[in-house]
Structure 1
Amino acid sequence: MSGFLRIGFVPEHFSTPLHFAQKHYALPDSLVPFPSGTGHMVQALRAGEIDVGVGLTEGWVAALGKAQASKNPSPSDAGFKVVGTYVETPLCWAISTGVKRELSSVKELYGRRIGVSRIGSGSYVMGFVLADQQGWLDPSSSPQPFEVVPLNTFERLREGVNNSTADFFMWEHFTSKRYYDNESIKRIGEIYTPWSSWKIVARTPLLSSPELQNFLESVNKGIRYFEANQEEAVKYISTELDYSEKDARDWLKTVRFAQNVTGVDKGVIEKTVEVLSKAGVLGSGVEVESMIGVERSEAVKWI
């Protein structure tokens, strides 16, 4: 195996340390953007199109749990595992509708159409977490709390709620905020993940490879640079990405990246499985151990 890895990532503000790792530390790996998010990266991992993914905790765990249920390719291997923790803080999902739509509160969303990027993506999974929090999930009843409408991209989600293809959608707060400010969409609520928000996964054959360990250390360097050079981060986010300078500065006050990205806390995965099972995204009998490729401990344990 060569030292070259293909790294899937979402080209948003959270990717800034990856950009710095590539720019300032000559990260040799290829960064492959996935604007439609974690669900698309799951497909790419399974197709062998990327080797590593940096995405949302709930998207990875939902995909791993569903693979276990289908026993494909095997009960204990979905083709990839969680190997790292990228962001320690939870994610704020803004809940949006069309700017001229009459919807004005979360309580009006029951039975409506939710726009999602893909089935199994974070925007899909968090819809069911919202439904659980609102008491809309009835295990004894078959109807779903809303109709799911896959629309692939953030742009199409915004279009969808304005042309009534969907009634609402959920996306990260600061990525959505520019479109509230220019009155393209309307905010009607928010929900926070009950877990740390971003994890790193890798294809199973790479788990013990030096290439993966080198990549994780490069991310650590990128994070350290990010923390020491906040003004450069603000300039990059506000000129190269779709954010205002004020929103970039506000976001910096809310986010905390991992000091060492290698490994994942088993308790975080257990909590995620617990909430997703309660929300009806996952069934019973999910094996947390088989989802983890590298577990955090006093000395990192490579499984």
Structure 2
Amino acid sequence: MKTVKIVGVPEHFNLPWQFCLENGEFNEIGIDLDWTDVPEGTGKMCQMLRENETDLAVILTEGILKDISNGNESVVLQQYVASPLQWGIHVAAQSTFQTISDLKDKKVAISRNGSGSQLMAIVNAKNEGWNSDVLSYEIVNTLDGAVIALTENKADYFMWDRFMTQPIVDKNIFRRIGVCPTPWPCFVIVARKEFYENNQAVIKNILEVINYTTIEFKQIPSIDKTLASRYEQKLEDIQEWLKITKWSQKQLTEKQFEQIQNQLLELGIIKSTLNFNEVIK
């Protein structure tokens, strides 16, 4: 049995992985897939890849490409979710902020440096015509940390998947004042380069299992009710999320890669171009 370490966020996007694990599908092909939830998100997962604490990661596209441009020796195996991530822009429910423009020069809560919550704050700033170089941050590590930061006025706003934060909005802890979708496919599956080079057959088998599940995922009977129950969501919110979420079983094309890279360069998220053949496997 080959042990493979993998990390991802504890969110509804990754329920297909949990189903495969619960059903023993990786064990059936001789793989002990050791999944670790990482609520801190992409910045933490980048660190784990760098420090050989994981072999694979299901990770935000912008975050891993930024970290690869900064020396992370990882490669992209394929897209995982092709649709954009809907980043909600949240403030404390009792705050005086009413519109996105009210947040100019205000402090943004982020999970970690290099996280999606930081990079999407840059995207939002550019969308609003703000100078993203002067954004100020409060590191909060997790969604729970963001709740504390906003309610205690340590930060002014926080960006996170709008569906995963919906229960917090429903409880009148956060108020959502806007949504900022990613202008690229949101999740990719990546591997440490060394692990990829030495385990290509194992990786191929893992991808075949997860891709078979994601192809059929939306057709699973009562999947909306299962998701709503597991992730404490309202059924109508999950149904809306399922409509707009598209899993992928394909690799990024060179054209897609260049489009994403050019957007990241324009936003200042990466400083130099990446080599398609070195990054995309």
Provide the TM-score with structure 2 as the length reference: 0.92
AA partner of residue 124 (structure 1): Q
AA partner of residue 21 (structure 1): C
**Structure 2 match to 1:282:** 270
Alpha-carbon contact 1:115-1:168 (below 8 Å) kept? yes
Deviates more, 1:85-94 or 1:13-22: 13-22
2:140 to 137, 141, 151: 151
Q: Say whether residues 1:165 and 2:159 are aligned partners.
A: no
AA partner of residue 13 (structure 2): F
Question: Could you give the per-residue CA deviations for residues 116-155 of structure 1, whole angstroms, max 9, x where no partner exists?
Answer: 00100111101111111111138xxxxx342011110011
Question: Could you give the per-residue CA deviations for residues 232-259 of structure 1, whole angstroms, max 9, x where no partner exists?
Answer: x22332222232222222211111111x
**Structure 2 match to 1:90:** 84
AA partner of residue 238 (structure 1): A
Alpha-carbon contact 2:215-2:247 (below 8 Å) kept? no
Alpha-carbon contact 1:88-1:256 (below 8 Å) kept? yes
Structure 1 residue 84, shift from structure 2 partner? 1.0
**Structure 1 match to 2:253:** 265
Q: How far apart, CA to CA, are the structure 1 residues paired with 2:205 and 2:3?
A: 10
The residue matched to 1:207 in structure 2 has which SS? helix
Query: Quick one: structure 1 residues 265 and 230, their matched pair in 2 at CA, closer, same or farther if it must change by over 3 Å?
Result: farther
AA partner of residue 85 (structure 2): L
Which aligned pairs between 1:196-235 and structure 2 lie closer than 5 A?
Answer: 196-208=185-197, 209-231=200-222, 233-235=223-225
Unaligned residue ranges in structure 2 (runs of 5+)? 27-31
**Structure 1 match to 2:100:** 106
Q: Say whether residues 1:131 and 2:125 are aligned partners.
A: yes
AA partner of residue 40 (structure 1): K
2:114 to 115, 120, 136: 120
Unaligned residue ranges in structure 1 (runs of 5+)? 68-77, 139-143, 295-303
Alpha-carbon contact 2:7-2:38 (below 8 Å) kept? yes
Structure 1 residue 111, shift from structure 2 partner? 0.9
Q: How far apart, CA to CA, are the structure 1 residues paired with 2:2 and 2:175?
A: 46
The residue matched to 1:84 in structure 2 has which SS? strand
Q: How far apart, CA to CA, are the structure 1 residues paired with 2:100 and 2:178?
A: 6
Structure 1 runs of 4+ aligned residues shifted over 6 Å read none
Q: How far apart, CA to CA, are the structure 1 residues paired with 2:105 and 2:163?
A: 27
Q: How far apart, CA to CA, are the structure 2 residues paired with 1:203 and 1:169?
A: 30
2:236 to 220, 225, 246: 246
The residue matched to 1:29 in structure 2 has which SS? strand
Aligned length: 274
1:41 to 25, 38, 45: 45
Structure 1 residue 230, shift from structure 2 partner? 4.6
**Structure 2 match to 1:10:** 9
Q: Say whether residues 1:61 and 2:60 are aligned partners.
A: no
AA partner of residue 18 (structure 1): W
Q: How far apart, CA to CA, are the structure 1 residues paired with 2:114 and 2:205?
A: 30
Q: How far apart, CA to CA, are the structure 2 residues paired with 1:148 and 1:16?
A: 31
AA partner of residue 93 (structure 2): V
Report percent identity of matched pairs.
27
Q: How far apart, CA to CA, are the structure 2 residues paired with 1:291 and 1:158?
A: 39
Q: How far apart, CA to CA, are the structure 1 residues paired with 2:227 and 2:157?
A: 27
The residue matched to 1:149 in structure 2 has which SS? strand
